[in-house]
Amino acid sequence: MADIEAKCPQCRKVIMVSEFADLTRLTCRACNSPFKKPESTAAPVIAPPQKSTHRLRVQREATPASSPVSAESPTQAAVQQAQSGERVVARVERTEDADKTIHVRQNLISWLIFIILGGACGYLRYGQYLPNGGGMAPDWLAMFASYGWILMVAFHILVILKAFKDSVFQGVLCAIIPFYSLYYLFAVSDDFYMRAVIAGVLLLVGQDGAEYFKVLFGGWFKTVGDWIQSGGGDIR
């Protein structure tokens, strides 16, 4: 089963859905608008033909009356169709311009959040290396070194939930592939605010959390390597 992209016709939000999903039953999570209105499947009712008792008279009257209409109707229909197409194009262009404006504004706000939060977290964690000193007290640094990995696990779970909300396939990749959640957050996801907050806080706990997982997984890898080298026997 593959996923396909579906774009909301109202707010242009793109989500990933199953190829077997019924778009007429889906609504946009951003603006709650239906993705597609269900079309009527009822067959048109065709009246049975009736015999005309004035065939010759009807033919004589229809010929002169239809000549001016047939010469003008195609032109009017073409003009109306062109005007309708121009209105649709103008509406799509306005929607795309609004989407670009929103995208730029969210991007700028997220960068501002990252600069403020990341600067504060970076100063608290690495202020001790400044010429004049600073940063957190040694006791607080020791606490973050011991428990900072919990924040990293919480961020990992948040990214997995976000990925599952956007696409089941992306959620599975984040859950089973190491470090894929970071790639999804910074390269795939369009949640600028979550990206800015997590990136800022990682400046505070990222190094200590990485050291913790390095020691933890290093011990696991050594145990598995020793078990393989011993042929599956007792490990001493």
pLDDT tens readout for residues 18-36: 767 777 777 777 787 777 6
pLDDT tens readout for residues 151-200: 899 999 999 999 999 999 999 999 999 889 999 999 998 888 999 999 99
Interacting residues of 65 by C-beta distance below 8 A, sequence separation 6+: none
Q: What angle do CA 186, 190, 195 make, to 5 degrees?
A: 45
CA atoms within 13 A on the CB side of 3: 14
pLDDT confidence of residue 234: 57
pLDDT confidence of residue 71: 45
**The overall pTM is greater than 0.75:** no
CB atoms within 10 A of CB 101: 10
- The ranges of the chain with pLDDT < 50 are 37-47, 52-54, 56-72
CA-CA distances (angstroms) from residue 61 to 54, 55, 74?
Answer: 11, 10, 22
Q: Is the dihedral of CA 11, 14, 15, 17 positive or negative?
A: positive
pLDDT confidence of residue 229: 76
Chain mean position to CA 171: 12
- 101 token code pair: 């404006």
SS3 at position 130? coil
Q: Determine if residue 48 is left, alpha or beta; phi over 0 gives left, psi from -120 to 50 gives alpha, anything else beta.
A: beta
Residue 198, class by beta-carbon neighbours within 10 Å (0-12 exposed, 13-18 middle, 19+ buried)?
buried
Q: What angle do CA 66, 71, 77 make, to 5 degrees?
A: 105
Q: What are the E-state strand segments in the chain?
A: 3-7, 14-18
Distance CA 32, CA 88 (A): 22
pLDDT confidence of residue 233: 57
Per-residue buried b or exposed e for 1-27, using 16+ beta carbons within 10 Å of the residue's own CB:
eebeebebeebbbebbbeeeeeeeeee
